[in-house]
Amino acid sequence: MCGIVGYLGPRDGVPVVMDGLQKLEYRGYDSAGIATFVDGELAICRSVGKLRELQKKLLQADLAGSPAIGHTRWATHGRPTEPNAHPHVYHGVVVVHNGIVENYISLRGELEAAGHHFSSETDTEIISHLIAREIEGGRDFPAAVRAALSRVRGAFALGILYEQEPQTMIAARKGSPLVAAYGEQQGEYYLASDIPALLAYSREVIFLDDDEMAVCRPDGMVVMNIADGRECRKEIHRVTWDPIMAEKGGYKHFMLKEIFEQPQAVSNTLLGRVAENRRQVELHEVGFSHDDWRRVNRVVILACGTSWHAGLVGKFWLESLARIPTEVDIASEFRYRDPLIDEQTLLIAISQSGETADTLAGLQEGKGKGAKILSICNVMGSSIARQSDGVLYTHAGPEIGVASTKAFTTQLVCLLLLALDMAAARQTMTEEEIASQVAGLLHLPLLLEKVLELAPRLEKIARRYHRASDYLYLARGLNYPIALEGALKLKEISYIHAEGYPAGEMKHGPIALIDEHLPVVVLVPHDRHYEKVLNNLQEVVARDGRVIAFTAAGDRKVAEFSAEVVGIEEAGELLNPLVYTVPLQLLAYYTAVFKGTDVDQPRNLAKSVTVE
Ligand code: F6R
């Protein structure tokens, strides 16, 4: 959470940083700020609210300079007010921060006792005080940063400037993501929380590791270990994402664009992972062999939110296809319950951002107990990807809308590829069975195109029901997690209370909620649960609930009982979760549009949850 961007180089850094912040606004958007040096003098501009508020202020402030660092905030310590907005400055030391200083109360007490006065309620301001104190004690700027950070417990990604050394920009990282990058011109450097902020300027990035800092000066960038100052050799990575991918491309919202990108995203996920004969899966890239798959006796999937829903579908596939006992854990729960893990456990961490603090901590917990780690991530070089024994990248391209869409469907594709590869290794499916699922996967982009044609129908339904205060989503089996996901999408962007439930469980409680005001979304695919779900649907109708049914195109029975029916061209039992996901995303999207909420940046949320 929180986005930071920095620039050092020959051009004016203010528009560069503002442009980068705009790409990172999904990481937090309750206040923002920027700092630079104008003719050697420090100039800071901060504002409460979205980045556009800061932009308005900047128009009047006429700020231009280099280096420049900026921040978009998701409040942890201290309300979203201007004094709490970053950058924070003390005695010429300017800091932007993503993370949490866990020992800030004791550090603040120590500094106050030594006569320091604070101008904000944030934990971040401590860092500028600590560095300034070290400089005043005689250390040079980088040494002061190192000494100060040795006192800080918790997580940080930092951009730091110092008024007396206006040609230096320092970046430091521990537990929160940070990339440093080389610009096109000599002596040009960038830093950012995430790659999309840099796409327009640089393709050559360095992923800072924990406990590392980068000191950028016109004559070069040096990466060193924070504890001992020793220089670290870093690999330069070439980023393949296109800057256009991080633009709205004519769509009203990123979310809508990302929903419509799903056929292409799924094709990209499949690319290079299906054998030439189109009958087998090839996952050599993940670094696990078929022997490894045979040795696994248990899978534990860890994730949060939407990624957790993908994990629930993954469990079904891994158990039914590869016959491996699989548990799915919410990462924040897993890490505190002393889970049973051993060397034959494969731990799968699923995370779009690859930075979710709970998932990362769960991964570390599992690793400590000897599990092998495979991650399914979208963001290249992210912390979770780098701490895993193998990575299956989703290749969905940058996902900017806070509500996850294409990341989810591509996670599902990765999980199915994995289940098929494991099934092949463990001989739990015949070659023919695998070939038939591979064929289904290859046909999927076409079916996703078809399901997207339903958008106008979903817009109409959304218009009709957007004033409802609650929604219930029901499904069974493989599609039960899709009901959970549909409900999550609706609540996070439209702020309508929504619950997903296994349809068979409805009679054990939620049935009490049903009345003529409650829209009930029921997924009735043509699979082994069809009759049972149809019975559940009738139970809803008998209590005057308003059923919005999603079923196979042409189904008459479901239509007979439902207020609304959406006919889906199905993909077969195993692949149906993918085609049933998309219309639920569209329903949530249009509902939010009719309600007039901020679709891409819903209140209180952030895209990348890097705090516990
Ligand atoms: C919902 C959503 C969140 C994320 C969750 C995990 O639309 O986006 O629930 O899925 O915060 O994020 P990642 O996948 O980045 O670990």
Angle between helices 305-321 and 406-426 (to 10 degrees): 20
Among 308, 350, 353, 494, the mutation site with the greatest number of ligand 1 atoms within 8 A of its Cβ is 353
pLDDT the model gives residue 176: 86
Of all residues in the chain, what percent carry a pLDDT higher than 70?
A: 99
> From the alpha carbon of 304, which atom of ligand 1 is closest?
6
For residue 374, report the distance from its CA to the centre of ligand 1, in Å. 18
- By most ligand atoms within 8 Å of CB, the mutation choice from 356, 375, 387 for ligand 1 is 356
The 10 Å Cβ neighbour count of residue 253 is 20
Nearest CA to ligand 1 atom 5: 305
Atom of ligand 1 nearest to the CA of 405: 7
Q: How far apart are CA 367 and CA 335, in angstroms?
A: 11
Closest ligand 1 atom to 306 CA: 10
Domain residue spans of the chain: 3-244, 254-451, 455-595
pLDDT value at 416 more than 90: yes
Confidence of residue 232 (pLDDT cuts 50, 70, 90): very high
Ligand 1 neighbours, Cβ below 6 Å, are: 304-307, 351-353, 356, 359, 403-404, 488, 492, 608-609
List the structure tokens of 191: 């830093």
| Residue 401 Cα to ligand 1 middle (Å) | 11
Amino acid at 368: G
Is residue 219 packed enough to be buried (19+ CB in 10 Å), middle (13-18) or exposed (0-12)? exposed
Helix ranges (DSSP H) in 137-189: 141-149
CA distance 193 to 181: 11
Sequence-separated (6 or more) residues with CB below 8 Å from residue 240: none
Nearest atom in ligand 1 to 407's CA: 14
Domain 254-451 class?
alpha beta
Q: Whose CA is nearest to atom 10 of ligand 1?
A: 306
Best CA proximity match to 261, nearest among 274, 275, 273, 244: 244
* β-pairing verdict for 189-192 and 237-238: unpaired
| pLDDT tens for each residue of 303-327 | 999 999 999 999 999 999 999 999 9
- Ligand 1 atom index nearest CA of 359: 16
Q: What angle do CA 249, 253, 255 make, to 5 degrees?
A: 100
d(CA 179, CA 173) in angstroms, rounded, equals: 9
Show Cβ contacts of residue 508 under 8 Å, excluding neighbours closer than 6 positions. Answer: none
| Distance between CA atoms of residues 85 and 156, nearest Å | 16
User: Which residue out of 609, 610, 611, 612 has the highest number of ligand 1 atoms within 8 Å of its CB and is therefore the one to mutate?
Assistant: 609
* Residue in 259, 306, 334, 379 to alter for ligand 1 test, most ligand atoms within 8 A of Cβ: 306
Closest-CA residue to 548 (of 564, 537, 536, 533): 564
Query: Do the domains spanning 3-244 and 455-595 agree at the CATH topology level?
Result: no
Q: Is the peptide bond between 166 and the residue preceding it cis, with omega within 30 degrees of 0?
A: no
The residue whose C-alpha atom lies closest to atom 7 belonging to ligand 1 is 403
- pTM for the whole structure: 0.82
408 Cα to the center of ligand 1, angstroms: 9
* Tokens, residue 607: 């895209």
N- to C-terminal Cα separation, the chain: 11
Name the residue with the closest Cα to ligand 1, atom 11: 305
Distance CA 427, CA 163 (A): 65
Q: From 3.60.20.10, 1.20.1600.10, 3.30.160.100, 3.30.390.30, which CATH number describes the 3-244 domain?
A: 3.60.20.10
- The tens digit of pLDDT for each residue in 88-144 reads 999 999 999 998 898 989 999 999 999 999 999 999 999 999 999 999 999 999 999
Task: State the pLDDT confidence band at 381, using cuts at 50, 70 and 90.
Answer: confident
If you take atom 13 of ligand 1, which residue's CA is the nearest one? Answer: 351
Q: How far is the CA of 407 from the centre of ligand 1 (A)?
A: 9
Rounded Cα distance, 447 and 569, in Å: 7
Question: What is the DSSP track for 337-399?
Answer: S-----TTEEEEEEESSS--HHHHHHHHHHHHTT-EEEEEESSTT-HHHHTSSEEEE------
Q: How far is the CA of 5 from the centre of ligand 1 (A)?
A: 22
Distance 321 CA to ligand 1 centre (A): 26
HSE-CB for 168 with a 13 A CA cutoff: 20
Confidence of residue 611 (pLDDT cuts 50, 70, 90): low
Measured CA to CA, the distance from residue 582 to residue 531 in angstroms comes to 23
CATH number for the domain whose boundaries are 455-595: 3.40.50.10490
Q: Which residues of 120-141 are buried (b: 16+ CB within 10 A; e: fewer)?
A: bebbbbbbbbbbbbbbeeebeb
pLDDT of residue 39: 86
* Cα dist from 178 to 2, 357, 445, 470, whole Å: 11, 14, 34, 40
Instruction: Band the pLDDT of 335: cuts 50, 70, 90.
Output: confident
Residue 173 has pLDDT above 90, yes or no: yes
**How close is the Cα of 331 to the center of ligand 1, in Å?**
12
Which runs of E-coded beta strand occur in 218-342? 220-225, 237-238, 298-303, 326-330
Which residue has its alpha carbon closest to ligand 1 atom 16? 351
Tens digit of each residue's pLDDT (9 = 90 or more) over 21-43: 998 877 777 899 999 999 889 99
> Which pair of tokens denotes residue 148?
């100060």
d(C-alpha 102, C-alpha 120), whole Å: 16
C-alpha 309/C-alpha 328 separation (Å) is 9
Cβ-count burial of 201 within 10 angstroms (0-12 exposed, 13-18 middle, 19+ buried)? buried
Please report the pLDDT score of residue 44 as a whole number.
95
Judge contact between 583 and 550, C-beta under 8 A. Answer: yes
**CA proximity to 197, closest of 309, 393, 51, 376:** 51
Mean of the per-residue pLDDT values of the chain: 93
The whole-angstrom separation of Cα 579 and Cα 59 is 46
CA of 325 to the centre of ligand 1 (A): 25
Question: What is the per-residue pLDDT for 73?
Answer: 87
Nearest-CA residue for atom 9 of ligand 1: 305
Percent of the chain with pLDDT over 90: 80
**Amino acid letter, 131:** I
**Torsion angle in degrees (nearest 10) through CA of 480, 485, 488, 492:** -170
What phi, psi does 267 have (nearest 5°)? -60, -40
Q: Which residues are catalytic?
A: 2, 607
